[in-house]
């Protein structure tokens, strides 16, 4: 039975893998998984978390998912409001996203005899992964953050705990019925999606398969709900820099050298800490699409050490 907030049956899977729905305090969550065909290399499971934007899905993680499934158990979540997860009309906040991660990590741990997972998160989702690690430090082992938010040269965020930068007036304006769908249709026109991907890549050479899937997933029922909370800044945490500073355990950060996400001047808040490592990776915000071998060569020592 198709739920009103569910993608239609015409939406193809974003990854060639087993996909399951799991129940959680954050609603129904879509989780892809795969096991290595031969013996694993002894590493724990790995959870991949896509970024947040108007057309987000696990398709963003395809190169990494395909690579790591040959070596270790790998999972990819679709966060609330995206992909095959619950896209219903409700507030979308860091709390909701973090609760979804807690549920996914508990599910993965239950499937692997209590072994905790490593986590890789992209862009704004790095904030949710860091919060999950902060709240339940023993629920995940090592963090890798690709082009994370919270380190730009703009004002650092040491505001109230668990608050958001949300602008209620903007969300009300975007959600007015007379133009709500029109605004979202404009934001997700194929040419506009291409424009934003070129900004992320810092190049004309975007991944065309990813672009086509982004168009498809933006046409599903409920697709505008989470993105409007994102555009209204409700998914950005007021306290993320304090939270980053208090993290324990190894954290590896990939810094883009090209495109719209190259400002990491705020890293001075944590780069002197022994558990943080910042690495400039040639390419845009999703460098694993451009040169997967080079990216994983820099990342893999973080998992192995």
pLDDT tens track for 275-288:
999 999 999 999 99
For residue 8, being part of any structural domain is answered with no
- For residue 170, the domain's CATH number is 3.40.50.1820
Q: Is residue 91 part of a domain?
A: yes
Say if residues 242 and 131 touch (Cβ distance below 8 Å): no
CA angle in degrees (0–180, nearest 5) for 295-300-302: 115
H/E element, 253: strand 251-256
Q: How many CA atoms lie within 13 A of 14 on its CB side?
A: 34
pLDDT for 10: 81
Asked whether residue 158 is assigned to any structural domain, the reply reads yes
Model confidence band, residue 6 (pLDDT cutoffs 50, 70, 90): low
Answer yes or no: is 5 within a domain: no
The pLDDT confidence band at residue 3, using thresholds 50, 70 and 90, is very low
Residue 225: which of 184, 189, 190, 164 has the closest Cα?
184
> Please, what is the average pLDDT of the chain?
94
DSSP 164: B
Amino acid 1: pLDDT? 33
Query: Residue 82: which of 2, 5, 196, 143 has the closest Cα?
Result: 5
Burial readout 185-201 (b: 16 or more C-beta within 10 A, e: otherwise): eebbeeeebbebbbebb
pLDDT at 240 over 80: yes
The per-residue pLDDT for 9 is: 58
Helix (H, G, I), strand (E, B) or coil at 47: strand
Task: Give mean pLDDT, residues 172-180.
Answer: 90
Residue 145 lies in a domain: yes
Residue at 3 is within a domain: no
- How do residues 102-147 score in pLDDT, each as one tens digit? 999 999 999 999 999 999 999 999 999 999 999 999 999 999 999 9
Asked if residue 30 belongs to a domain, the reply is yes
Q: Is residue 298 part of a domain?
A: yes
Q: Return the ∠ at Cα 227 (arms to 223 and 228), rounded to 5°.
A: 110
Q: What is the pTM of this model?
A: 0.95
Q: What is the mean pLDDT of residues 265-281?
A: 96
Looking at the 3D structure of the chain, how many domains does it have? Answer: 1
Full domain range(s) for residue 132: 18-304
Output the six-digit token pair for 45. 């499971």
What span, in angstroms and rounded, lies between the C-alpha atoms of 102 and 128?
10
């Amino acid at each position: 039975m198709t739920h009103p907030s569910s993608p239609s049956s015409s939406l193809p899977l974003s990854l060639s893998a087993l996909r399951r729905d799991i129940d959680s305090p954050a609603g129904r969550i879509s989780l892809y998984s795969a096991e290595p065909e031969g013996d694993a290399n002894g590493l724990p499971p790995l959870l991949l978390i896509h970024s947040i934007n108007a057309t987000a899905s696990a398709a963003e993680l395809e190169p990494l998912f395909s690579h790591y499934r040959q070596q270790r158990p790998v999972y990819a979540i679709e966060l609330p409001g995206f992909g095959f997860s619950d896209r219903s009309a409700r507030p979308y906040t860091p709390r909701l996203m973090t609760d979804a991660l807690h549920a996914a990590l508990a599910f993965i741990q239950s499937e692997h005899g209590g072994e905790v997972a490593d986590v890789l998160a992209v862009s704004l989702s790095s904030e949710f992964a860091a919060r999950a690690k902060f709240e339940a430090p023993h629920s995940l082992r090592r963090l890798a953050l690709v082009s994370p938010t919270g380190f730009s040269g703009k004002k650092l965020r040491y505001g109230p705990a668990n608050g958001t930068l949300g602008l209620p007036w903007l969300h009300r304006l975007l959600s007015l019925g007379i133009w709500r769908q029109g605004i979202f249709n404009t934001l997700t026109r194929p040419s506009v999606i291409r424009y934003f991907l070129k900004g992320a890549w810092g190049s004309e050479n975007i991944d065309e398969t990813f672009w086509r899937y982004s168009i498809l997933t933006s046409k599903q029922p409920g697709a505008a709900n989470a993105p409007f909370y994102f555009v209204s800044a409700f998914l950005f945490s007021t306290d993320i820099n304090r939270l980053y500073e208090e993290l324990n355990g190894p954290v590896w950060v990939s810094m883009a050298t090209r495109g719209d996400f190259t400002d990491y001047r705020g890293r001075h808040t944590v780069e002197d800490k022994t558990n943080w490592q910042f690495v400039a990776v040639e390419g845009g915000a999703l460098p694993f699409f451009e040169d997967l071998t080079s990216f994983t060569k820099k990342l893999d020592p973080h998992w192995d050490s």
